[in-house]
Structure 1
Amino acid sequence: MTRNSAGLSFKHKLIIGTALLSPATLAGPASAQTGTDDIEEGDVIVVTGSILEAQQAAIAEKREAKNVVDVASADSVGRFPDENIAAALTRLPGVAVQRDQGQARYIQVRGAPNRWTSVSINGIPQTGTDEGSAGRAYRFDAVPAVLLSELRVNKSLTPNITAEAVTANVDLLTYSALGNEGFTASGDVGYGMMDLGDGEQRQGSLRLGWSDGTWGIVLGGSHYKREQVTDNREYGYSTGTDGTIAPTDIDVRSYLLDRETNGLYGDIEFQPVDGQVFHVRGIYTEFKDDEQRNAYQFELDEASSGTRTSTGGDLVNVPVDGAFNDAKYRNRNLILSTGADLEFDDWGLSAQLGYTRTENSTYLPLTLATTGGANNVSLTYDRSDPNFPVITGLYATDFDVDPITGDLINPRRGAAIDRFDPTSFNGFNFILPIVTETVSDSMTAKVDLYKQWDDFTVRFGGLFQQRDISGNIFNDAGIVPLAVIGQNVNDYAGSAPWDTGFPLGVSFTYTDNEALDDDQQRLLEQAGIDLSDLNPPQDFFDQKETIFAPYLMGEFELGDLQIIAGARAEYYKVRNSGTASTGGILTPLTFEDDYFDLFPSVNLRYNVSDDIVLRLAGLRGTARPAYAAVRIGSAINDVSEVIESGNPALKPEYTWGVDASFEWYLPGNGIFSVAAFHRWVDDVLYTGTQRVNSDAFDSDGIDRSNYLLSANFNGQSGTVSGVEFNVQHQFDFLPGALGGFGVQGGLTLLDGEFDALDAGGMVVTSDFPGLSDTIVNASVFYEKYGISARVSYQWRSDYIDTVGGLGIGDGEFRGAYENLDVTLRYKINDNFTVYADLANLTDEIYTAFDGTSDFPVEVEQIGARYMFGLRFDF
């Protein structure tokens, strides 16, 4: 395996990180007041609008926490150019992001697979759905950051937190209606542009609140939209004509996207007496992505003659494939809850009832077109830059005509042409329907109680949750020839040239995808064809999950030492229904499984002094397989004894872990911390081919336990470990204007691997998908005299790609990338602030490669983005 991150060992990086972030380089003279002098445990922290105050609020939360945790307050989030909470969370130590066409979608805490991070909203566990149900990972791009008051990353667990987490649980906290008395109004409006393609960017939010101390109501909403062009190149490889590894195809793409994120939030709270609060809350979020694809793939390896080498080529009679669509991606979340928080003299009760509905749908009728015969092209290409093989010459292809058969023979290079003709698709043109939908309905009941004595508190409670999940995966089994509905893709060729920042070598024009799709839908309806009906029955699944999880924990206050210890028990049951297709015969299948697990944990916090806190934690956690991964719907071949399906016998992954941290709360307002962790993980999930070894697919008396199954499996064991350095400090001890400067940043160093079996039963060792061995997050800010400015930088090293969270082997890597953002704020008065957000100023190019960076398989760019606007607060 070849890695392209810096060639330093983990040990060397650890030494460098310790030196760079040494406390001796950070401390300044003590100021008159520490950042937590006025904040006691249990106080309500009110953020009033400055970087310093937001930083103090988050640090105070971290200092008083019972576990290893990192916190971002809402105002801190608002001071970065982050359009959703995935981007906002990456400002915290050890959090990296996975992007889709440049936009943050998933997070990876401590570089681990995204499935190892669970999500709760106000303490109620959530689960994600994605295209084709490939993973449980939560779609953070569907949740606007402005709806939340606090983002809390629990890196060690306590028994009252769901055990469905290996590296972290992220708890998203909404605004409280009783947070401020009187009438409040806040929000923002903004407008800007995308550098690539000059598309517009806009955002707006409004939050209204009223409270008299007994009743409170808050209503909020947000909107964000961008019109984006995405440059994209994709390549395949094989042995060329000279024996070197050469490209098999050059796939040139331009995407036109309209992406939109909307959110609504409401909270009604009633407090008849102090310490007794009843609430009703509702959240609605949606992510909308309308994607027009223009793609031309030059099939170099199908040329009639010529040379195809790693550095360049000269080829005759090359077919060209086109791909066009106007796709609709949707992700919607409805989250409702009601409950009460009751506090009495020495005991308390918190109870919640919650309902969550998550819908994820993909409607992508992909129109595929091909050239043939006289419409094929001849070309020369140059691969001096592996990221950008350029077609240096494009030519027509001339033929002779066989006088007897009329066939075209003797292909040769014809006249030069300066652009690809989008009306030249004369081959087999058809619709590949990619239509999926996953719906999850979840009911939750959660109760937490505590009883307090002088130095001891006992907490106990439980959670009951039932989830009903139905959906389908994508299968390319069904197609619709365009001739069947009387459509010709050439009729939609346009004349507008591409917006691109990548070298092309030859020009292209946009196809009118919107008209193509509109006419296609009309023609399909007239022909009585519903594309969703082309999904085969074995691709659908219906699952019911039931979770019952009681817990018991004790908190011991022994002077400067606090101990939180206990255990959580979780009973999990799943009923999995689907259809087996065997030679055209459909058979319903059902598979049930259940298991009971104990998840102990202990967290120790020791106050060495007023400014230094040490923590040590041990825990056990789990991560459950994705819905599609355990589906029982299957295509069975009793002749070849092969099954294509999910694996209903999959077990969860389990972990034992330890965490330790050193936290120095700097004089004035800051923190320097070092946190280390280690996770031992068993039954690691990976993709492969093995014998079934169960009766899950048996029917009609046929034993299929020895058939070969290509699916996801439980591997052997693995480990993940790392060290996180974090610093936040404003140098307010400096004189005059210099006191406005400050820093915030983190360095995370990671290492990990796991063992699994390949198809031959041999042990294979692999890196974990998503594991970057280095993550850097650094900011320099200035805040004084009404000015608030920040320059922030992020970088992560390369990692194995896994959008769905599964993978094994050297496979496809995502290359290292960086982001540089600038935010500017000027406070006009107590009510109005003008701002400018400048994001991705490095104009980053995102790459994926096969084994080494010499062989990129995808290269992508979205360009910088700029937003200007006004914030208000009354």
Structure 2
Amino acid sequence: MTIVRRTAASTIAIVVATFASAPTFGQQLVTDDPRPADAAATAPVEDPGASDDIVVTGSIVEAQRSSILQKRMADNLVDIAAADAVGRFPDQNSAAALARLPAVAVQRDQGQERYVHVRGAPNRWTSVSIDNVPVIGVDEGGTTRAFRFDAIPAVLLSGLAINKSLTSNLQAEAIVANIDLRTYSPMSEKGLNVQGDVGYGVMGLGSGEQRQGSLRASWSNDVFGIVVGGSHYRRNQVTDNREVGLYDEPTGATDTQSGPTEIDIRSYRLIRENNGLFAGLEYQPADGQRMWAKAIYTGFNDDEQRNQYELRLDRAASGTRDLTGGDLVRVPVRGTFNDGQYRTRNYINTIGGEVDGANGFKAAVALNYTRTENTTDLPLVQASTPTSASPSLSFDFSDPRFPVVQLYATNAGAVPSRGSALSGFDQRTLAAPMVIIGRQDSFTDSYTMKLDVSQELGAVTLSAGGLYADRSITGFTFATANVVNLASFPAGSGLGFDINSYVTDQRWDTGFPLGFTLNNIDNKAMRGDIDTILARLRTLGTYDPSRDVPVSNRYALGEKLLAGYGMAKFTFDGGQVVAGLRVEHFDLDNRGTATLAGGRLEPLSVGQRYTDLFPSVNTRFDLTDRLVFRMAGQRGVARPSFGEVRVGSSIDDTASPGQIGGGNPTLRPEYTWGLDSSLEYYLPGSGILSVAGFHRWVDDVLYGNTQAVGSDAFDAGGIDRSGYLLSSTFNGGRGRLYGVELNYQQQFTFLPGILDGFGFQGNVTLLDGSFDTAERKDIRFPGTSNRIANASLYYEKFGLSARVSYQHRTRWLDTLGGLGLGGGGDEYRAGYDNVDVALRYAVTPNFSLYADLSNLTDAVYSAYQGNEGRPTEVEQIGRRYLGGVRFNF
């Protein structure tokens, strides 16, 4: 759906970010003062702009008041939500909590919220900070800078802020938004405060358990405060999955060998666990002076038993197939099994100090060390049916998401034929097993220093500051280079492996139609035996772990960022203007190794150094006590990921032209100019009604392709490789992303009697945009839905708090296909609708019961190639039910 005509006029139709589909809990305010910021600051309420902390003490309405007042007084366009410290939402991680804000959509992995798309933009266009200190994201293999929000439990936070327009004191590496995750301050509540929860529940698919618990204890007086806490969430989950390999294209009018090349049937049994520990100290020796130290550890564990069977339709001995179905003889079946371990660790340590002088002078300094670890250990055991055991089959593709298969025996002979119908597939007929070693690691160490100072001079406030970050990144992209044949061990090894001995009598838990049944594999036992065999083969010298990862997959990068800014805020009767300039100097040291013909290795090193200017302007006009108009303009940047820019590569000098696979060390950052504006009307009942819009013009958009190198980055040993063909990421042309956001939230205090406990929070975002490359025009940005919507109807009175929440997004482009094929090879993610229900009942002021009912729509998440008649993946995890108790004193 095109929502704005693609003309120059559309760039003027800008209005922005509104707040809060669903803030959860915030400070208890005694008024929902709609007056301008200067007037509100003198009102008898705590000014939330004076602190980054959102103290959780009350209800949904109290959270609305706090968040709306902070938005009302902000210098920029920002959406704010209080974290779920008392559990009004069933959000186990920060991605789920952020998803309830305007123009925010999430990307899920097996139903669990992981990445955040602000305004539908690629996730690399959103930067992240913790307590206003920038942190970098490193995903599996380092192939994206996207921050993994599923590794940050929501309970560690006191609030979340989405800065949709930038001021110069914020990092410039944010094309659409900067997300600031704000941690809890022990000085926000005096005396001893303890709160926590314990919950238990079940998963609708597979009946696995859910469990969660958290505890936070703080104590403070007027001088000193301390907080310690932790959280735990565990999910024992089954995921239903169907995939299709590729789709053949008909080669002529009589060609019947087209349609899906395989039907891939998968079942995942997994245990996902989030754990967090945090501690903080604060010291306030005098008014206007504060020193603090905070330490955060978060760990995400994902242990996955995956079983899959591929019906390899394109390798049938004979028969026909197309997009409606097929009838095939002797179809090979390949089984793949693993017990994989995925780990993400974050160690975040910050110390800082602040001075707030009586003469209007303020200063703040922060020092941070952050380490991230992201590892995957995934040995894949694979085997196929021999020719004599390969079944025949027919399949019905009338609902391409759920192909239904009928199996038959195969009659042997010179020309094999279909035999009698079978009730199931004999899983004990696989042969020639092998283990494919799958691994990836990425590690970062980041040291950051940040300084900010400001001086009030009447109606003008001058600010300046700087940031220095020194980061090292090492690791390798996902590799499956080492394959060990389990069917042929060396003589005298004393090792044996029967892949068919691990089939159990336990049926798959599945809600998808298939046509025949399958049983689970004992992946744990198989993994244990594989580890024993590999250890033995290593001793015998027939397995070399150093070959698991080619050197071309490895990278070692060093980043140094030096930034400084100057900014001025001018306040006048009826509004303010904030303008500034940020300067950033970026220095990249990029080292790796190229693999040449014959296995010869050659070290390569490429550096990048550049300095950029990032101006920004934010204006606010208080048209009336309740009506606010904002406009903002800025320049931003998004830098390539570590895996994309790595110099490590595999080079074939024998091909003509030569071929290179790997990273692209000459990648340039993506730069943008952006405009935002909003019209906000503040309603009684802690409400807001707003319309907002934005436009981003982006240069040098990143995309995948194969094209000539065009530089000397891979030249070595006297060989000019500038004309070789490189398969990697490249800079395309220009693009535009624009949209409109509508937001409404209000408690219905105007209703009579008990009905005044009802309220509503909702927002709709309409998006459009595209970018160009040399091969194609008007390509949608990956991750961009045309429409994103969130809505919550709540009731809160007499100790009862109930909320029904709805989330919706339309389809979005996920992965670009072959750029020479037009859009037919592009992969899309289908839209979905989610409904959650959260119930709370306060038995006493310090004790409450809760129930969270999640994914009540039982959403099916699917992907498809080109159109919905060609699905590539269909996945479902089922509904989730969790109940428990919460306490605070």
TM-score w.r.t. the length of structure 2 is 0.92
Q: Cα 1:131–1:46, aligned 2, differ >3 Å: closer, same or farther?
A: closer
Provide the rounded CA distance (Å) in 1 between the counterparts of 2:865 and 2:319. 26
The question of whether the paired residues in 2 share the 8 Å contact of 1:746 and 1:776 is answered with yes
- 1:839-864 deviation per Cα after TM superposition (whole angstroms, max 9, x unaligned): 00000011101111011111100001
The question of whether the paired residues in 2 share the 8 Å contact of 1:676 and 1:722 is answered with yes
SS at match of 1:183: strand
Instruction: State the Cα distance separating 1:695 from its structure 2 match.
Output: 1.0
Structure 1 gaps, min length 5: 1-6, 24-31, 401-408
* Selected match of 2:529 from 506, 519, 531: 519
Instruction: State the Cα distance separating 1:558 from its structure 2 match.
Output: 1.1
SS at match of 1:506: coil
**What amino acid does structure 2 have at the position aligned with 1:710?**
S
The question of whether the paired residues in 2 share the 8 Å contact of 1:683 and 1:714 is answered with yes
SS at match of 2:64: helix
Instruction: State the Cα distance separating 1:75 from its structure 2 match.
Output: 4.0
Within-5 A mapping of 1:577-726: 577-583=591-597, 584-640=599-655, 641-726=658-743
Provide the rounded CA distance (Å) in 2 between the counterparts of 1:864 and 1:636. 48
Provide the rounded CA distance (Å) in 1 between the counterparts of 2:283 and 2:686. 35
The question of whether the paired residues in 2 share the 8 Å contact of 1:244 and 1:310 is answered with no
Provide the rounded CA distance (Å) in 2 between the counterparts of 1:748 and 1:589. 46
- 1:180-208 deviation per Cα after TM superposition (whole angstroms, max 9, x unaligned): 11000011110001000000000000000
* Selected match of 1:468 from 454, 458, 472: 472
> Which position in structure 1 is the counterpart of 2:185?
176
Structure 2 gaps, min length 5: 20-29, 35-42, 490-495
Task: State how many pairs are aligned.
Answer: 841
> Which position in structure 2 is the counterpart of 1:421?
426
> Which position in structure 2 is the counterpart of 1:403?
none
Within-5 A mapping of 1:743-754: 743-754=760-771
* Selected match of 2:585 from 557, 562, 571: 571
The question of whether the paired residues in 2 share the 8 Å contact of 1:250 and 1:299 is answered with yes
**What amino acid does structure 2 have at the position aligned with 1:289?**
D
* Selected match of 1:148 from 153, 157, 163: 157
Provide the rounded CA distance (Å) in 1 between the counterparts of 2:278 and 2:3. 47
The question of whether the paired residues in 2 share the 8 Å contact of 1:615 and 1:661 is answered with yes
* Selected match of 2:404 from 390, 403, 413: 390
> Which position in structure 2 is the counterpart of 1:28?
none
Instruction: State the Cα distance separating 1:243 from its structure 2 match.
Output: 3.9
The question of whether the paired residues in 1 share the 8 Å contact of 2:808 and 2:832 is answered with yes
Provide the rounded CA distance (Å) in 1 between the counterparts of 2:561 and 2:82. 31
Provide the rounded CA distance (Å) in 2 between the counterparts of 1:10 and 1:289. 42
Q: Percent identity?
A: 52
> Which position in structure 2 is the counterpart of 1:497?
507
* Selected match of 1:34 from 12, 32, 35: 32
> Which position in structure 1 is the counterpart of 2:61?
52
> Which position in structure 2 is the counterpart of 1:784?
797
* Selected match of 2:451 from 442, 447, 450: 447
Instruction: State the Cα distance separating 1:432 from its structure 2 match.
Output: 1.5
SS at match of 1:475: strand
* Selected match of 2:486 from 482, 485, 498: 482
Q: Cα 1:419–1:745, aligned 2, differ >3 Å: closer, same or farther?
A: same
Q: Cα 1:77–1:646, aligned 2, differ >3 Å: closer, same or farther?
A: farther
Provide the rounded CA distance (Å) in 2 between the counterparts of 1:732 and 1:769. 42
Say yes or no: does 1:341 pair with 2:354. Answer: yes
Say yes or no: does 1:282 pair with 2:288. Answer: no
* Selected match of 1:363 from 373, 377, 387: 377
Provide the rounded CA distance (Å) in 2 between the counterparts of 1:384 and 1:690. 39
SS at match of 2:746: strand
Q: Cα 1:49–1:424, aligned 2, differ >3 Å: closer, same or farther?
A: same
Say yes or no: does 1:432 pair with 2:461. Answer: no
SS at match of 1:96: strand
> Which position in structure 2 is the counterpart of 1:249?
262
> Which position in structure 1 is the counterpart of 2:861?
846
> Which position in structure 1 is the counterpart of 2:121?
112
SS at match of 1:629: helix
SS at match of 1:479: strand
> Which position in structure 1 is the counterpart of 2:492?
none
The question of whether the paired residues in 1 share the 8 Å contact of 2:85 and 2:158 is answered with no
Instruction: State the Cα distance separating 1:417 from its structure 2 match.
Output: 2.2
SS at match of 1:711: strand
> Which position in structure 2 is the counterpart of 1:96?
105
**What amino acid does structure 2 have at the position aligned with 1:292?**
Q
SS at match of 1:476: strand
Instruction: State the Cα distance separating 1:780 from its structure 2 match.
Output: 0.4
**What amino acid does structure 1 have at the position aligned with 2:566?**
L
Q: Cα 1:418–1:216, aligned 2, differ >3 Å: closer, same or farther?
A: same
The question of whether the paired residues in 1 share the 8 Å contact of 2:159 and 2:183 is answered with yes
Provide the rounded CA distance (Å) in 2 between the counterparts of 1:734 and 1:710. 63
Q: Cα 1:237–1:809, aligned 2, differ >3 Å: closer, same or farther?
A: closer
Q: Cα 1:100–1:531, aligned 2, differ >3 Å: closer, same or farther?
A: farther
Provide the rounded CA distance (Å) in 1 between the counterparts of 2:436 and 2:242. 21
Instruction: State the Cα distance separating 1:43 from its structure 2 match.
Output: 5.0
Provide the rounded CA distance (Å) in 1 between the counterparts of 2:428 and 2:684. 70
Provide the rounded CA distance (Å) in 2 between the counterparts of 1:849 and 1:157. 36
Say yes or no: does 1:828 pair with 2:840. Answer: no
* Selected match of 1:410 from 397, 408, 415: 415
Provide the rounded CA distance (Å) in 2 between the counterparts of 1:115 and 1:722. 18
Provide the rounded CA distance (Å) in 2 between the counterparts of 1:840 and 1:350. 43
Instruction: State the Cα distance separating 1:312 from its structure 2 match.
Output: 1.9
> Which position in structure 2 is the counterpart of 1:799?
812
The question of whether the paired residues in 1 share the 8 Å contact of 2:2 and 2:768 is answered with no
The question of whether the paired residues in 1 share the 8 Å contact of 2:18 and 2:692 is answered with no
* Selected match of 1:67 from 56, 76, 101: 76
Instruction: State the Cα distance separating 1:609 from its structure 2 match.
Output: 1.4
> Which position in structure 2 is the counterpart of 1:549?
563
Q: Cα 1:280–1:33, aligned 2, differ >3 Å: closer, same or farther?
A: closer
Instruction: State the Cα distance separating 1:245 from its structure 2 match.
Output: 4.4
Q: Cα 1:77–1:817, aligned 2, differ >3 Å: closer, same or farther?
A: farther
Q: Tell me which moved more, 367-376 or 499-508.
A: 367-376
SS at match of 1:766: coil
> Which position in structure 2 is the counterpart of 1:164?
173
Provide the rounded CA distance (Å) in 2 between the counterparts of 1:636 and 1:46. 57
Q: Cα 1:812–1:183, aligned 2, differ >3 Å: closer, same or farther?
A: same
Provide the rounded CA distance (Å) in 2 between the counterparts of 1:54 and 1:126. 27
Instruction: State the Cα distance separating 1:132 from its structure 2 match.
Output: 1.5
Instruction: State the Cα distance separating 1:413 from its structure 2 match.
Output: 2.1
The CA RMSD over aligned residues, in Å, is 2.2
SS at match of 1:386: coil
- 1:450-506 deviation per Cα after TM superposition (whole angstroms, max 9, x unaligned): 111111111100000011000001233321111245322112111110000101210
- 1:148-176 deviation per Cα after TM superposition (whole angstroms, max 9, x unaligned): 00000000000000000000000000000
| Runs of 4+ residues deviating >6 angstroms | none
TM-score w.r.t. the length of structure 1 is 0.94
The question of whether the paired residues in 2 share the 8 Å contact of 1:464 and 1:547 is answered with yes
Instruction: State the Cα distance separating 1:621 from its structure 2 match.
Output: 0.3
Say yes or no: does 1:735 pair with 2:752. Answer: yes
The question of whether the paired residues in 2 share the 8 Å contact of 1:215 and 1:270 is answered with yes
> Which position in structure 2 is the counterpart of 1:861?
876
Provide the rounded CA distance (Å) in 2 between the counterparts of 1:317 and 1:510. 24
The question of whether the paired residues in 2 share the 8 Å contact of 1:764 and 1:809 is answered with no
SS at match of 1:39: coil
Within-5 A mapping of 1:167-206: 167-206=176-215
Say yes or no: does 1:237 pair with 2:247. Answer: yes
The question of whether the paired residues in 1 share the 8 Å contact of 2:228 and 2:280 is answered with yes
Instruction: State the Cα distance separating 1:398 from its structure 2 match.
Output: 2.4
Instruction: State the Cα distance separating 1:129 from its structure 2 match.
Output: 1.2
Instruction: State the Cα distance separating 1:369 from its structure 2 match.
Output: 1.1
Provide the rounded CA distance (Å) in 2 between the counterparts of 1:595 and 1:364. 39
**What amino acid does structure 1 have at the position aligned with 2:424?**
R
Provide the rounded CA distance (Å) in 1 between the counterparts of 2:260 and 2:464. 61
